[in-house]
Amino acid sequence: MKDFLLSIRRRVYRALPERLQGLVGWFYALPSTFMARSKAYRMDPWAARFIAHNKKVWSAKTGNDGEVLVEIFQCATSIAAFSHLAQYLARDMNASISAYFTRKRFWEESFLDTALARIYLSFANRIFHVNSDEEDRELDDLLSSVLAKLQSKEDLFKLTLDGIRLGDLFYDSILRTYNVPTVDMHAPMLAKSLRTGLMGWLYWKRYLKAHKVRAIVVSHTVYQQFGVLPRLALSAGIPVFQANSDSLYRFSAQRPDAYLEFLDYPELFQRIPVDARSTGIARAAQSLERRISGEVGVDMLYSSRSAFATPSGERVLEASNRKKILIAPHCFFDNPNNTFGGHLFVDFYEWIDFLGRVSEKTDYDWYIKTHPDVLPGNDEVLKAFQDRYPRFRLLPASTSHKQIIADGIDVALTVYGTIGIEYPYLGIPVINASRFNPRIRYDFNIHPESVAHYEELLINLDKLGPVRERDKIAEFYYMNRLRRPDFWLIDNLMKQIEDSGQRQNVQCGPWGYEAFLAQATPERHDAIQATVRRFVESGEYFLAVEQISPVSNSAVPVVT
């Protein structure tokens, strides 16, 4: 009943004029906004200890040869990572540290002395807001010029300014901001969202021209809110880094986004000693067996339910001699392009719509099953597709993949989802709608060259055989899941989270400061700085396990 009422409310809201939507949304969010702001002004005890720690270890934080920009991001473990990376860069470059709010809000403008601002000022020299001018003639002219060039979704997606790719950032921001599955090129939200993105573009162009920026540290490179500055900086030759509790990245024009190390997995695997390779593959196989057995959260701490739960025993696929296709959809609204990019379609809506059109040309049984942790709003979109394309059948999100496999599924379709690991491990082929998915360097998935090639594969499924590459699947899993350096900042962080029983985003709350400070010994501080130095000096794209300095955590903490 609750889900039904939520669905009705969402439909009524979307039917309102855009201005009224904004007003309703503002009033609806007012109580939670007030509570969030009131918490922001109160200093959590662990945050206060983190500030005290920073004031002790970062006693000299002033330089005069330019500045290192640091994004203000509200996540405890990321802030700890920022402090180490920004401090190293500032000292190495004799620069100051300037932290910036990516969003301007009246409470931040009036009350800079919030808990978050005080935390950043414990390791930075100053904070400021990205304060763009709404009444900007250059912005008005630029917006008009851009809108005149946009005739299709593809035009928006491929949009560049001064030779810099921005369209994917703008495109994904519309989906996320307005919670829509695809872009309507005739909706008022297009111009409104583009204006915001172009406002940031002009602001940062002017800022980089007026200031000597030596390096930039960010939390993400996705969406226009986060991604415009990094791309502008890279075009100007300014180093851009991303830092969090389990990774460090240094971007380049060739690799302007994070999490692309999969492009080098086969070569990186060959650099590992032979004994370690064998051990790694054995560990990966063990993890895969645990995931397929239905264990929750295996190497995926954000997951609260397993997609391989014990099957009910009742058949969910129709008993027929027809080919059976499973579509494993992604969230329509959450960053379809910047996760990896290079997909065959501009968004997931266009992908599903294409599959619907193909379904009408086939005599297959087509099934769609979302992940058990699917976000609200996705089901409504998929139900509309089911109404439009009668061959589609939407399975309950709780349906176990074990039951689907037992019922005789023939092939699974995804863009880049983890089903591309699990199904092939069980011998079932998976076709990715992307030339840039994480498994692109391996042959245990099928990677179409183009939309036409994709359709050809779908029409001729009889030519697909079973997958028999378990060793390669285990190799990929080891490189992708088990060899990530998630201990450079906080030792055994993932195990601590798992043991705590709090899988959902605990790193961003006070617990993140607690976990960091529990290991804040002088020895570990020096080891972290050595790791950062080794990574920065290497010029490598991402932090490798071999670059991490080991340390004993048995000493008395700096802050208790």
Q: How far is it, in rounded angstroms, from Cα 182 to Cα 189? A: 12
What pLDDT does 107 receive? 44
Element (H, E) at 392: strand 392-394
Q: How far is it, in rounded angstroms, from Cα 44 to Cα 391? A: 54
Residue 383 located in a structural domain? yes
Residue 557 located in a structural domain? no
Q: Could you give the number of structural domains in the chain? A: 2
Q: Which of 329, 403, 335 is nearest to 371 (CA)?
A: 329
Strand order in 430-432's β-sheet? 392-394, 365-368, 324-327, 411-414, 430-432
Neighbours of 156 (CB within 10 A): 23
Q: How far is it, in rounded angstroms, from Cα 116 to Cα 42? A: 10
What pLDDT does 159 receive? 96
Residue 436 located in a structural domain? yes
For 455, residues 6+ apart whose C-beta sits below 8 A from its C-beta are 354, 358
DSSP 405: H
Extract the residue ranges of the chain whose pLDDT is less than 50. 2-3, 6, 13, 22, 26, 28-30, 32-37, 40-41, 106-112, 552-560
Report the SS3 class of residue 318: coil
Q: How far is it, in rounded angstroms, from Cα 92 to Cα 110? A: 34
Residue 530 located in a structural domain? no
| Domain boundaries, position 26 | 2-33
Q: How far is it, in rounded angstroms, from Cα 41 to Cα 49? A: 16
What pLDDT does 241 receive? 98
Neighbours of 495 (CB within 10 A): 12
Pairing of strands 365-368, 392-394: parallel
Q: Which of 127, 2, 3 is nearest to 380 (CA)?
A: 3
CATH code of residue 358: 3.40.50.2000
DSSP 430: E
**What's the gap between Cα 523 and its chain centre?**
32
Residue 10 located in a structural domain? yes
Question: Residue 19 corresponds to which tokens in the numbers above?
Answer: 């201005």
> What's the burial of 334, exposed, middle or buried (CB within 10 Å: 0-12/13-18/19+)?
middle
Look-up of token digits 């005069």? 64
What pLDDT does 104 receive? 55
What pLDDT does 446 receive? 97
Q: What are the percentages of helix, strand and coil residues in the chain, rounded to 5?
A: 50, 10, 40
In Å, what is the CA distance from 50 to each residue of 57, 250, 483, 488, 560?
11, 26, 29, 18, 10
Q: Is the CB of residue 234 less than 8 Å from the CB of residue 208?
A: no
Give phi and psi for 73, each to the nearest 5. Answer: -130, 130
Give phi and psi for 79, each to the nearest 5. Answer: -65, -40
Stated length of the chain: 560
Pairing of strands 430-432, 365-368: unpaired
Give the angle 360-363-364 at the CA atoms, nearest 5°: 95
Residue 118 located in a structural domain? no
Question: Residue 314 corresponds to which tokens in the numbers above?
Answer: 């009742």
Considering 470, 485, 501, which residue would you say is the last residue of a domain?
A: 470
Distance between first and last Cα of the chain: 49
Question: Residue 558 corresponds to which tokens in the numbers above?
Answer: 């700096």
Q: Is the CB of residue 422 less than 8 Å from the CB of residue 477?
A: no
What pLDDT does 26 receive? 46
Report the SS3 class of residue 510: helix
Q: What pLDDT digit, counting tens, does each position of 408-461 carry?
A: 999 999 999 999 999 999 999 999 999 989 999 999 999 999 999 999 999 999
Question: Residue 426 corresponds to which tokens in the numbers above?
Answer: 């069980």
DSSP 95: -
Question: Residue 327 corresponds to which tokens in the numbers above?
Answer: 């579509």
Pairing of strands 160-161, 164-165: antiparallel
* H helical segments located in 308-437: 348-359, 378-388, 401-406, 419-425
> What's the burial of 4, exposed, middle or buried (CB within 10 Å: 0-12/13-18/19+)?
exposed
What pLDDT does 552 receive? 43
- HEC string of 164-231 equals EECHHHHHHHHHHHHCCCCCCCCCHHHHHHHHHHHHHHHHHHHHHHHCCEEEEEECCCCHHHHHHHHH
What pLDDT does 47 receive? 93
What pLDDT does 62 receive? 73
In Å, what is the CA distance from 142 to each residue of 92, 137, 232, 234?
38, 9, 17, 22
**What's the gap between Cα 272 and its chain centre?**
28
- The sign of the torsion formed by the CA atoms of 67, 538, 528, 77 equals positive
Residue 348 located in a structural domain? yes
Considering 470, 485, 511, which residue would you say is the last residue of a domain?
A: 470
